[in-house]
Structure 1
Amino acid sequence: MLTFAQRPEVMELVLSHVLSSRLLVVLGRLLNHSSGQRLKIARVTLSSLRNMASGSTVMHTRIRRDLLAAEVPAVLRRLIRMGSGRGALLGADEDAMDDARALAELLQEERASMSTLDAYIAEVQADALHWSPIHRDARFWMVNAQRIVDDHRRVVRQLATVLIESQRQSAEAIAVACNDLSMLMRETTTGKAALLSIEGLKVSLMSLMTCHEDPTVRAATLTCVQYLITSSVRT
């Protein structure tokens, strides 16, 4: 297992690969859906996640924030709460329970150090968009929309990529991305120009608005298209 590598250069390569993929989201879901028959999978997953999250480099911080965005703490709380009772996944495996507790503590400390904008950026970068409360928080957008457009253009592009590459995204992720892009246009004077500069976005929005099977996606893309056309900024 490369996550157990002792050489810093090897671990750096591992973390770089993990951060450039959806692996953390996949591992979080794998852990969440594990059952008693998959104890070995849960044990190895917990140990690997703990190893990747333990460290003080920028990459280790990104790992912890991606795990937060993937809602791994909720999974850990469930595992720890169940303990060794009937139906517990980890049973009497003290090593696995120790990994779960240590990882939960690491993530709790990381969350305490983050602003709401940090948490939002982490969710986008982890490719883990879901209807967390921040997306519907009007004050968050009023305070941070211009900052996102001005200082975090990569985040804007990642939101657009969710729509451009919608075939590999869930309906929820697409709707959330549309919501967020709409907020960036509603609350800023430069959001529309930033989005129009992204090749393929407008065509993707039009296609999703008319062809996607999910009505929530069609409604969300309609709103986004309306902002893109009118660029009506709240005053």
Structure 2
Amino acid sequence: MSLDPPPYLATLQNNIRQRPIPWDGAARAGTITESQLAKIRAVDKVRKEQRKQVVESDLDGYRILFVGEPGTAGVLESASRRSDVVQYVLVLLSDLFDSVPALAKALFKDSDPYQHFLPLLAHSNNPEDPIPLLTSTVLATLMANAKDESPSTEHALPLILSYLCSLTKNTNDAGLQDIAVMEYSSLLYGRSSRQLFWKQRSETVTPLIEILKKAAGVGADSGASLWSVNTTLRSGGFEGLGGGVGLQLLYHVLLVLWQLSFEAEEIGDDLDDEYDIVLLYTQLLRLSPKEKTTRLLLSTLYNLLEANPSTLLPAAVLARLPALLQNVGGRHLTDPDLQEDLDKLKEMLEEYTKTKTTFDEYVAEVQSGHLRWSPPHRHQVFWTENARKILEFENGEIPRKLADIMKKPWENDKAVLAIACNDVGNLVKEVPEKRYQLEKLGLKTRIMELMQDSDENVRWESLRALGGWLKYSFENN
């Protein structure tokens, strides 16, 4: 997948191309050999077609130029003390990869073409030093063009990802973030690289999710939660209004996660458990400013839901995705692929909701680990018909899950505690003989603690819930 380089990188490379390098002096000083100089001059500042012809006719010679061979140092090794030469060679190699894709595969004739590149990722602690950035660009292109899955690539990839993750965390420079995310995209060319990317998700995926949350208005400093933001419509879209996330960066982050979603069967459940991905994407879809971002959102959701229907379709219903898809269908869509993805998603969700009852929706909500004031909570008929079923479902899974939910403080969303107290109170009211089952889970004790909570609604619902216990205690006395 070829993408134009971000402006910052393109400008840096152009500036380096235009710098005069005293090649003859470098050769006299022994920085490079006469043979290396001849090969560089044969492809430097010549037309692309001529460059392609020269390299293709001597692939082995250019392999040795850049990575060396036993007994012969490559130019990066021999010129390691000259930063200007190293920078120039890195840009030249990027240009050659672009002109001659076969060169990337040729470098793998040796067992490890990375050994003289990887140290350059840690060239200095100066963030202004261009060498690590140029090196990451070379390595990402090398891997993408060669599509190599050898042990040397498996060793090098985590190191490259760790360097790129340091750029994605640079929230003060969206240009560097965009470079890193684009290089991520070029690296996710196969299953092996995607699995390694997921294995390092605390470094790779987490910063991307933070960018998307910021775009959705749920930045780390906002104090908002995805669940509360998802209940309100916002206007305007992303660029300039979505937490300062530019449309280009947004698109590239969505592209990377779309590529990752091809491993949905293995990682989909964890992706939702750890990042609330279905809820986040539903909110992003609501705000999506362009068809190209909408298409990536829909396609990623489809990949996730199709591969994990039993777990993620309930999450999609809880996030109100079906109603949102109806709204998206009402937009004037011009992309036929987007329309196809939309239709497939709608059909999948419609088929699922046809067979699901209110009880199923309630169970899915509790299993999601987050509660909202959906209709069942306040509907007395629901509790009359389903309270016993809820207590007996999967040997008491639902009250255990309610206990887990209530253990958390929910500082940013106190409504969750109020709803949980409401539910426990209804269970006691409808099936009083089972209240000891709830007491063993610590629910009565927790409800008594919540009577002192700072939130008025939590105090009220906990008092109502405790009233059920007290009522039956008095009656038994």
Question: What's the TM-score once normalised by structure 1's chain length?
Answer: 0.79
1:187 aligns with 2:430: yes
1:43 aligns with 2:295: yes
Indicate which of 60, 63, 77 corresponds to 2:309.
Answer: 60
SS in 1 for 2:415: helix
Q: Following TM superposition, by how much is the alpha carbon of 1:128 offset from its aligned partner in structure 2, in angstroms?
A: 4.2
Indicate which of 88, 109, 113 corresponds to 2:351.
Answer: 109
Q: For the structure 1 residues 227 and 26, does the alpha-carbon distance in structure 2 shift closer, same or farther, using more than 3 Å as the test?
A: farther
1:70 aligns with 2:319: yes
1:152-196 per-position Cα deviation (integer Å, ceiling 9, x unaligned): 422112222222113266233222222111111111134421221
Distance between the aligned counterparts of 2:318 and 2:412, measured in 1? 16
* Structure-to-structure mapping, 1:136-151, within 5 angstroms: 136-151=378-393
What is aligned with 1:27?
A: 281
**Long gaps (5+) in structure 2:** 1-258
1:45-88 per-position Cα deviation (integer Å, ceiling 9, x unaligned): 21111112225xxx42221122111211121111112x21xxxx
What is aligned with 1:8?
A: none
What is aligned with 2:439?
A: 196
Structure with higher RCO (Cα < 8 A, 6+ apart): 1
What is aligned with 1:122?
A: 364
Maintained 8 Å contact 2:370/2:416: yes
The code of the aligned residue for 2:420 comes to A
**Long gaps (5+) in structure 1:** 6-10, 85-90
Q: For the structure 1 residues 128 and 99, does the alpha-carbon distance in structure 2 shift closer, same or farther, using more than 3 Å as the test?
A: farther
Distance between the aligned counterparts of 1:162 and 1:118, measured in 2? 19
Distance between the aligned counterparts of 1:227 and 1:171, measured in 2? 22
SS in 1 for 2:451: helix
The code of the aligned residue for 2:269 comes to S
Distance between the aligned counterparts of 1:42 and 1:110, measured in 2? 23
Cα RMSD, aligned residues only: 2.6
1:99 aligns with 2:341: yes
Distance between the aligned counterparts of 1:71 and 1:166, measured in 2? 25
| Structure ID, larger Rg | 2
Identity %: 29
SS in 1 for 2:458: helix
What is aligned with 1:13?
A: 266
Q: For the structure 1 residues 12 and 205, does the alpha-carbon distance in structure 2 shift closer, same or farther, using more than 3 Å as the test?
A: same
Maintained 8 Å contact 1:145/1:184: yes
1:178-230 per-position Cα deviation (integer Å, ceiling 9, x unaligned): 2111111111134421221124x4454334322223x2222112112222444
Maintained 8 Å contact 1:149/1:190: no
Maintained 8 Å contact 2:362/2:376: yes
What is aligned with 1:216?
A: 457
Distance between the aligned counterparts of 1:52 and 1:121, measured in 2? 20
Q: For the structure 1 residues 229 and 52, does the alpha-carbon distance in structure 2 shift closer, same or farther, using more than 3 Å as the test?
A: same
The code of the aligned residue for 1:167 comes to W
Aligned residues: 215
Indicate the structure with greater helix content.
1
